Amino acid sequence: MDVQIVTHEVRLQKWTDIVKTCRSSGKTIKKWCADNDIDIKRYYYWQRKVYLQTCRELENVQKSIHTTFPCDETPVFAEINLPKNNAGNIAVSIHRDTMQVNVYSGADAATVETVFAALRQL
């Protein structure tokens, strides 16, 4: 591994620790920097570098999520048990091509999650 890359990673980790410590201190950034004898402009420089690295990492994670789960064309079926007393009280009706999905009022969270998980597979 390149020495410059390792040096940058070590610095970035140090800056990340400083930013986390400051943010969790309960003090304002100005007060925390003064108490810790850190130039506030330097602190904001470090914070910006940590922020940019975090954004890059998040972007890489999002890219890997989209490429990790290929679309499977196999139909997915999920059994949903609806309460008897809500028959006729459709809260949500989803239509796609020749398919129709109805979610009734009072459906529990697990049922709704199952419906949307099945729809994501389509």
% pLDDT > 90, the chain:
33
Average pLDDT for the chain: 80
The pLDDT assigned to 88 comes to 57
Triad 80, 81, 84: Cα angle to 5°? 140
d(CA 14, CA 42): 13
The pLDDT assigned to 43 comes to 94
CA dihedral 17, 51, 8, 10 (to 10 degrees): 20
Q: Which of 107, 46, 41 is nearest to 78 (CA)?
A: 107
The pLDDT tens digits of the residues spanning 41-69 come to 999 999 999 998 888 888 877 776 655 55
The pLDDT tens digits of the residues spanning 10-24 come to 999 999 999 999 999
The pLDDT assigned to 65 comes to 62
Triad 99, 100, 103: Cα angle to 5°? 145
* CA dihedral over 50, 55, 58, 64, signed as positive or negative: negative
The pLDDT tens digits of the residues spanning 84-99 come to 654 557 777 877 777 7
d(CA 80, CA 107): 9
pTM for the full predicted model: 0.50
The pLDDT assigned to 48 comes to 92
